[in-house]
Chain A
């Protein structure tokens, strides 16, 4: 879309763009190019000499069984979070979309968890699922479940998924609700006249018409699970026990900061960049093809 009437000014537009461009170049393009550059270098143990090793860092990373393990954890984790969040958010949105009393109040009371930091969510869930002092942790133990997420990897993963999802449901709920409310009532009424019950109505009207929102939320949730959940993992499990909750993002942090393996960490960063680029590209494709209901 282009504007017909514009201002004619030589210098001013550049001055207006300058602050954002400086920040973008210094804190975005420079580091991103550094990451790519670092990822093809290798440093000797004393940091005296560096040489170009091309794809060697990538091959080392991709052959590393620990990296493959982190990859698997990330996939299980992100798919669990995405499924869990979207199922519940859709259920709540369909309910809140009904013409019922207090719909606005319900909406407010379901939205606020969006405001919580992932790390704060972790602290809250830790307090209730703590094996010896948490109200649910104690209950699980008294039922003979041997609940201790600090020792049991599967339980740790479950807790991290639950704490992350809890925070994210509010976000998805809002988008599903907005999507549902943009479906024209005429379509719904027509289906009702044809005798569709509420399940049929959902399956053949609401769900298909929501598909752009659904696809969009899948990519958003995957990006959330990949990166934003770092706070949850760092606060709750530190990637453990063992490596059962070490995701790719957590591994980049560990290798880059704690273990100071710069080349390997840079190669991992570049791989992550590629993954996000693909996700964002998919997102734009689906947003571009967004169906308009009016």
Chain B
């Protein structure tokens, strides 16, 4: 009989190789962010960190200017992305928890019609209807505004479905007890439903934060002023056509800064992240 440690060896090997393959693009980005542009441009970047770490990150954060690049300071880009991601996540959670509450705890004419309307938005991701949505935005004068950047991304059914599903598991007895105690629907929502939904809200927030942070096509179209640029757009613009002789050290420092927040959210809030991902897509 082969000892257990040895039998599991191929399993560990596959997983370790997978982890290395997953990590190496980020590892090289980090290495690139610690050397100078000229060295990288000559194709001589070593495999270990260099001396320019602090200089590159300071430059990226405060000015993002190199020999070839005139970028937007990454601290502004990060702040823009943070605002956008939080606004999308919070906005979507608020509107969907309210509508789910209405659908789950009331009977009223056209209830299922409205629910079906919300449900239909699942059919079309924003990318598909992007041209006509852009037209609507310009008719409403929302191009280059924060509202125009965030509100259309809140129109989706996933949150409503998740909360409705959860609300249906709240026992009828709770509602009865609340009614006997004289609590109205708003009081019941605030004192019972909202506290019970905490885990679901946290899970949804993690998913939506990443969704918002990683938006690309929509900000690309809606924000033409540089002061509203998000970090993802900013980096792609810095890279341009990807010439060898560009400030790769700056681009890589900015890239590392761009991927840290969402990656940290996934790692630190893994329980909620996994829960949110599996539930919102179910």
Contacts and interface: CB of A to CB of B under 8 A. Distances in A.
Interface of A: 1, 3-10, 12-14, 16-17, 19-21, 23-32, 34-35, 38, 88, 91-92, 95-96, 98, 100-101, 106, 108-128, 130, 132-133, 135, 138, 150, 166, 169-171, 174-175, 178, 220, 223, 227-228, 230-231, 234-235, 249, 252-253, 256-257, 262, 265-266, 269, 272-273, 276-277, 280, 287
Contacts of B15: 92, 95-96, 106, 110
B18 A92 contact: yes
Contacts of B8: 98, 100-101
Contacts of A112: 22, 263, 266-267
Say whether chain A's binding surface is mostly helix, strand, loop, or mixed. Answer: helix
Interface string B175-189: 110010000111010
Contacts of A24: 117-118, 121, 155
Nearest to B121: A28
Contact of B239 (A92, A114, A178, A235): A235
15 contacts: A3-B105, A23-B95, A27-B136, A98-B8, A109-B22, A115-B265, A116-B214, A116-B262, A117-B214, A123-B251, A124-B26, A125-B25, A132-B43, A269-B132, A287-B282
Nearest to B24: A128
A234 B216 contact: yes
A231 B262 contact: no
Chain B: interface size category: 35 or more
Contacts of B19: 106, 109-110
B263 to A, nearest CB: 5
Contact of B274 (A34, A98, A174, A231): A174
Contacts of A17: 98-99, 102-103, 114
Contact of A7 (B18, B106, B152, B235): B106
Contacts of A8: 106
B236 A123 contact: yes
Contacts of A38: 132
A125 B15 CA distance: 21
Given A34-B136, A92-B14, A117-B215, 8 more contacts: A16-B99, A19-B99, A32-B132, A120-B214, A127-B25, A231-B236, A266-B132, A272-B128
A121 B134 CA distance: 26
Contact of A34 (B45, B132, B244): B132
B191 interface: no
A23 B155 contact: yes
Interface string B51-65: 000000000000000
